[in-house]
A and B are shown apart, each in its own frame.
Chain A
Amino acid sequence: MSVILIYIYFIICFLILFYTIGYIVYQRYYQNHEARLIKQYVNLISDQHLMLQQVGCIDENHCLLLSKRLKNINQLIAFEKALNQLESKSDENTDYLMQIESTIIELTNYYQQLDQMKQAYLAYFIAKYGRGQWQSPSIYRILVSYLDNPTIYLRENVLLATYQQPEPKWIIKVLHYLTENELFHHSKLIQDGLLTYPFDCEELIDRLWEERQTFHPSIFLGLIGYITFKSDRYKETFYQMLQQEKVDLEVKASLMRYFKKHHLPKVEPLLIALASDEQDPIRIVAAYVLRDYPSKNVIATLKESLTDSNWHVRRNASQSLLAMNISEIDISDVLNGEDRYAKEMFRYHLQAERRTAHEPIG
């Protein structure tokens, strides 16, 4: 009985081995086949570029051909690689891509019935080449409809695709879907994805901010990060938020970081107060942000932070003090102080800064 079972395993494993070898052979064959396909598409697209220059539009039959062929995922991959090769001709490509919008609508429709990996690839394709050229709502309505128990890759690619059209409502729809279905999406992915939005970012920010309470915390965090990069209009809003007592720790830290990039004098006393907050992460961020608010009070606060029990607070306080170019008196004040840890940390950063200053640039 056991021998029979081993024989069965043996035969199945043998089949897997043959399948693997067959797959390698197929891959080799397919690489050559794909290279030919890409070349074919490069020629086809180049012809249409020429036609665009001559008559201002592309051949209708070309769109029909694409609609038929690109339903096959391998053809779509080859088409994408051909477009990638033609990236140097970006103006012609832009006009060309605008002309094939109807094909893209047809494809999004067709890919609804395919598996998630293929849908994710189409979303990736739209994200890469959309760039505002394909604005038809039906494309994004269908893309959002792909999100039925989606993989992280499908979610991310659909999000990236929606960032490439100007209407914030599609972005909000996807973010709502993620929140309602409790699907975690890293705040960094949200923030960096939003940064690719090529249209009026202030309008997008306002629309997203209106909806902030309906978003998952990680999306909200990503949004604050995005605002920090893109807008200085939220100083007052964030200042008010920062004063509230019941603010999530990570949100509070992100709001504080906003004021490192966007200076607001009246936030200084608040940051000074936060430098002695009972939560370590808040003190760490406060010691970091305060470097952009040089004043006597801030220097005194940071000197105090040098004696903090938290190592990171001491490190940030040292770096912040040096970043503010404090006087030699302040420097010797710290170096001659009684706190060994404060002196040790400050001395190291002082030496590192002087070393950097003397190092040749380049």
Chain B
Amino acid sequence: MNLLVERLMEVIALVFVSYMLLYTTFLFLAVLFGAIRLYEKDRMMRLSNEIKHDYYMPISVLMPAYNEEVTIVDSVRSLLQLDYKLYEIIIIDDGSTDRTTDQLLEAFPFRQTNSPIHRKLTCKKEEAIYEVTVNKVKLTLIRKENGGKGDALNMGINASQYPYFVTLDADSLLQSNSLEKIIQPVLADEQIIAVGGMVRVAQCVEMTNGTVSNYRMPWQPIVGMQVMEYDRSFLASRILLDQFSGNLIISGAFGLYKKDIVLAVGGYKSDTIGEDMELVMRLHTFMLNNKVPYKIRYLPEAICWSQAPESLRDIVKQRRRWHIGLFQSLIHYPEMLMRFRYKPVGFVSYLYYWLFELLGPFIEIFGIFTIVVASQFNLLNVPFMINLFLIYTGYGIVLSLTAFFQRVYIQGLKLNALDITKAILFVVLENAIYRYFLSFIRVTSFIGYKKKRNVWGSIKRTKHKESSHA
């Protein structure tokens, strides 16, 4: 029996080590490319190597909202201060059960209209449409029947009048130059059909008139660990995948799309949780199937500040949704690998999301389970395991810290000793504990999956630390 378990353990160890090696190699390349690319970007900005323009293309900003009464007014106010010549804001209240619409109606002098909506994409019916022009920016509020985030976004696309649209979460704050930054690649390259921006944790920041007036690392460890996690994800892997236009996700919190292409693929799906990833994957397969040259870019200098969950309960809800969304998107597009296996977006990106993002947590939890079993049979080489754990955790810490400091110089943030101490503490906690906790959450995310397939994710919001209308 022991011999059998020993052999089994050897095989598992081999698989596990191979997986770990593959993953660390990917992370290594991600950080290496990230460092090179960010240094180059920083140099480009310093040397005015950018398409700086007075008038860019007009943009429709779409903000779907569901029960966002706490942050919606501040978010809209911050949007009205963008340093951009021509844009409109469309807020889609997807049948909120709180005072989201009322808050907006009280804050802005809206008038109800009977604006005809061009129904290019299917979506639930509108209940009321309100319009107002503030600071020369047309603000439209559409109250509609509840249909999910994808459905709300489709309504926004239908109501939009400009050729490009940006999607934003209702708790998001944009910096005054964010729209300008995210549209710049479109002027430089006609093949670009979508651009993803960088999402940062809003609890760290105070904004004044659309610019960061103060940045501090938060006190709550849960938020702090998410700061470090976001840095690693947005500054490393996305930059690497961007080298070959291989990002399969543009965060719903901040992304720009060419409207006619999105219309051509049928808009957002309303029966999926990960509507943002699903759309990007559909765009990839549509363009590849039709053999149309295209690019989907990621731009770390286009920044959006979005609220991170502040309680474990909210994190659990959010991450379960994300994992189910990831699963739904990946399972729907096997052709990414079958048909386009010679394209980096199929071979590298699709496999990366399958192996490391979707199955990674299962493999990690299985690894921990194996360790427990091996120790029961006295097959565990404890010093080796400790050594391996320390290297792996240390490696993760170094990667996260690198990404964190890269962001500091890219965004010109000024940190004090306390912030750096907190960052080091959070990064250790994140790599030693939080990531295993998240793995567990992701592994269990499929429990009750069918029930929550088509509902809005809601986390508890707090007021932005903002003096944006100062």
0 or 1 for each of B23-56: is its CB under 8 Å from A? (1 = yes): 0110110011001000100011011111101111
Beta-carbon nearest neighbor of B161 in chain A:
A315
Nearest Cβ on chain A to B403's Cβ, whole angstroms: 9
Beta-carbon contacts under 8 Å, B380-394 to A: 387-388, 391-392, 394
Does A345 lie at the interface of the complex (its beta carbon under 8 Å from any beta carbon of B)? yes
Q: Which of B318-326, B351-359, B404-412 contacts A (4 or more CB under 8 A)?
A: B404-412
Does B187 lie at the interface of the complex (its beta carbon under 8 Å from any beta carbon of A)? yes
Beta-carbon nearest neighbor of B188 in chain A:
A152
From the candidates A12, A152, A347, name the one contacting B32 in the complex (CB within 8 A): A12
Q: Which of B86-94, B108-116, B298-306, B338-346 contacts A (4 or more CB under 8 A)?
A: B108-116
Q: A348: which B residues are within 8 A, CB to CB?
A: 113-116
In the assembled complex, the Cα of A157 lies from the Cα of B32 at a distance in Å of 30
Extra A-B contacts (7), CB below 8 Å, given A118-B47, A184-B190, A348-B115: A3-B391, A6-B24, A9-B395, A13-B28, A16-B31, A17-B405, A117-B43
Beta-carbon contacts under 8 Å, A320-357 to B: 341, 344-345, 347-348, 351-352, 355
Main SS class of interface, B: helix
Does B226 lie at the interface of the complex (its beta carbon under 8 Å from any beta carbon of A)? no
From the candidates B25, B51, B116, B387, name the one contacting A189 in the complex (CB within 8 A): B51
Interface size, A (range): 35 or more
In the assembled complex, the Cα of A345 lies from the Cα of B116 at a distance in Å of 6
In the assembled complex, the Cα of A74 lies from the Cα of B135 at a distance in Å of 39
Q: B188: which A residues are within 8 A, CB to CB?
A: 152-153, 186
Q: Is the CB of B55 within 8 A of A152?
A: no
From the candidates A5, A154, A184, A341, name the one contacting B21 in the complex (CB within 8 A): A5
Does A77 lie at the interface of the complex (its beta carbon under 8 Å from any beta carbon of B)? yes
In the assembled complex, the Cα of A152 lies from the Cα of B46 at a distance in Å of 16
In the assembled complex, the Cα of A165 lies from the Cα of B17 at a distance in Å of 64
Known: A17-B405, A24-B405, A345-B116. A184 touches B53 (CB 8 A): no
Q: B31: which A residues are within 8 A, CB to CB?
A: 13, 16
From the candidates B44, B395, B405, name the one contacting A6 in the complex (CB within 8 A): B395
In the assembled complex, the Cα of A41 lies from the Cα of B399 at a distance in Å of 41
Q: Which 4 A-B pairs have the closest CB atoms?
A: A153-B49, A121-B47, A311-B118, A9-B28
Does B281 lie at the interface of the complex (its beta carbon under 8 Å from any beta carbon of A)? no
In the assembled complex, the Cα of A26 lies from the Cα of B391 at a distance in Å of 30
Does B429 lie at the interface of the complex (its beta carbon under 8 Å from any beta carbon of A)? no
Q: Is the CB of A16 within 8 A of B35?
A: yes
Beta-carbon nearest neighbor of A8 in chain B:
B28
Q: B131: which A residues are within 8 A, CB to CB?
A: 352
In the assembled complex, the Cα of A14 lies from the Cα of B400 at a distance in Å of 11
Does A120 lie at the interface of the complex (its beta carbon under 8 Å from any beta carbon of B)? yes
Nearest Cβ on chain B to A116's Cβ, whole angstroms: 8
Q: Is the CB of B24 within 8 A of A9?
A: yes
Does A20 lie at the interface of the complex (its beta carbon under 8 Å from any beta carbon of B)? yes
Nearest Cβ on chain B to A341's Cβ, whole angstroms: 8
In the assembled complex, the Cα of A73 lies from the Cα of B388 at a distance in Å of 47
Beta-carbon contacts under 8 Å, B173-212 to A: 187-190
Q: A73: which B residues are within 8 A, CB to CB?
A: 47
Beta-carbon contacts under 8 Å, B6-23 to A: 17-18, 20-21
Does A110 lie at the interface of the complex (its beta carbon under 8 Å from any beta carbon of B)? no
Q: A188: which B residues are within 8 A, CB to CB?
A: 53, 55-57, 187
Q: Is the CB of A344 within 8 A of B28?
A: no
In the assembled complex, the Cα of A192 lies from the Cα of B56 at a distance in Å of 10
Beta-carbon nearest neighbor of A27 in chain B:
B409
Nearest Cβ on chain A to B195's Cβ, whole angstroms: 15
Q: B51: which A residues are within 8 A, CB to CB?
A: 152-153, 156, 189
Q: Is the CB of B409 within 8 A of A2?
A: no
Q: Is the CB of A16 within 8 A of B402?
A: yes
Q: Please give the residue numbers on chain B whose beta carbons come within 8 Å of chain A beta carbons, in ascending order.
A: 17-18, 20-21, 24-25, 27-28, 31-32, 35, 39, 43-44, 46-51, 53-57, 111, 113-116, 118, 131, 187-190, 387-388, 391-392, 394-395, 398-399, 401-402, 405-406, 408-409
In the assembled complex, the Cα of A73 lies from the Cα of B43 at a distance in Å of 11
- Interface hub of B18, B56, B116 (most chain A Cβ within 10 A): B116
Can you list 10 A-B pairs with a CB-CB distance of less than 8 A? A2-B21, A5-B21, A5-B24, A6-B24, A9-B24, A10-B395, A24-B405, A77-B47, A120-B47, A152-B188
In the assembled complex, the Cα of A60 lies from the Cα of B56 at a distance in Å of 43
Q: Is the CB of A9 within 8 A of B114?
A: no
Known: A6-B395, A348-B115. A23 touches B48 (CB 8 A): no
From the candidates B28, B50, B113, name the one contacting A352 in the complex (CB within 8 A): B113
Nearest Cβ on chain A to B406's Cβ, whole angstroms: 6
Nearest Cβ on chain A to B159's Cβ, whole angstroms: 12
Q: Is the CB of A351 within 8 A of B49?
A: no
- Interface hub of A6, A118, A120, A312 (most chain B Cβ within 10 A): A6
Q: Is the CB of B44 within 8 A of A2?
A: no
Q: A2: which B residues are within 8 A, CB to CB?
A: 17-18, 20-21
In the assembled complex, the Cα of A10 lies from the Cα of B395 at a distance in Å of 6
Beta-carbon nearest neighbor of B117 in chain A:
A311
Q: B189: which A residues are within 8 A, CB to CB?
A: 152, 184
Does A102 lie at the interface of the complex (its beta carbon under 8 Å from any beta carbon of B)? no
Q: Is the CB of B391 within 8 A of A7?
A: yes
Q: B39: which A residues are within 8 A, CB to CB?
A: 23
Does A124 lie at the interface of the complex (its beta carbon under 8 Å from any beta carbon of B)? yes
Q: Is the CB of A6 within 8 A of B47?
A: no
Q: Is the CB of A121 within 8 A of B49?
A: yes
In the assembled complex, the Cα of A312 lies from the Cα of B161 at a distance in Å of 10
Nearest Cβ on chain A to B402's Cβ, whole angstroms: 4
Q: Is the CB of B187 within 8 A of A186?
A: yes
0 or 1 for each of A137-149: is its CB under 8 Å from B? (1 = yes): 0000000000000
0 or 1 for each of A168-211: is its CB under 8 Å from B? (1 = yes): 00000000000000001010110010000000000000000000
Q: A124: which B residues are within 8 A, CB to CB?
A: 47-48
Q: A5: which B residues are within 8 A, CB to CB?
A: 21, 24-25
Q: Is the CB of B113 within 8 A of A14?
A: no
Q: B47: which A residues are within 8 A, CB to CB?
A: 73, 77, 117-118, 120-121, 124
In the assembled complex, the Cα of A189 lies from the Cα of B50 at a distance in Å of 12
In the assembled complex, the Cα of A348 lies from the Cα of B17 at a distance in Å of 66
In the assembled complex, the Cα of A238 lies from the Cα of B371 at a distance in Å of 79
Nearest Cβ on chain A to B89's Cβ, whole angstroms: 17
Nearest Cβ on chain A to B461's Cβ, whole angstroms: 33
Q: Is the CB of A9 within 8 A of B35?
A: no
Nearest Cβ on chain A to B84's Cβ, whole angstroms: 15
In the assembled complex, the Cα of A151 lies from the Cα of B31 at a distance in Å of 25
